[in-house]
Amino acid sequence: MPVNYLIKPSVETKFYIDFDWWEQSRDDLQVYLLTHLTAEQQQALQQRDLREVFDYVHPETGEVFQVDALGLAIRESSKRQDFITGRIGLIDSVFRALLVNDNHPLNALELAKATGRDASTILKTIGGVRIYRGIRPFRSGVAAES
């Protein structure tokens, strides 16, 4: 996305995780994703090659695609009832909601429903100039990848 491209988001503006942002960031996506796992899952992953690839069948669509060990652990975590709670920060909640949704773009109203947070607060937080954890407005022609 060009640096000079700015939009003023509304509650209907869709957001997604821009994984290209992570490539440019000083932050490490793999380290951040590990923070979304339970201590037990983190420990189990220490015993595995994180690059190991598995076939994953999407439970709703039946689509088969490959996912690495960390991605598989995140998918399993996302099924837990406590994956998105009020005890975690807003940005982490939104990030997790997008992960649960396979990074298909969601607007502030949909994110509010998924996180239990206020839509206007979500919009004020992720709809500004600063990009948090790669979460940015979605625009047509930009692929959201999971």
| pLDDT digit string, tens, across residues 2-59 | 444 566 888 999 999 999 999 999 889 999 999 999 888 888 888 888 778 888 887 7
| Backbone torsions φ then ψ of 13, nearest 5 degrees | -65, 130
List CB contacts of 136: < 8 A, sequence separation 6 or more: 1, 15, 16, 18, 21, 126
pTM of the full structure: 0.83
The average pLDDT across 74-84 equals 88
Model confidence at 1: pLDDT above 50: no
Q: From residue 115, how far is each of 10, 91, 119 by CA, in Å? A: 18, 10, 10
Domain boundaries, the chain: 1-36+83-146, 38-82
The b-or-e profile of 96-112 (16+ CB within 10 A means b, else e) is bbbbbbebebbbbebbb
What's the confidence (pLDDT) of residue 5? 55
For residue 46, the tally of other CB atoms under 10 A from its CB is 8
Question: How high is the pLDDT of residue 36?
Answer: 93
d(C-alpha 95, C-alpha 101), whole Å: 10
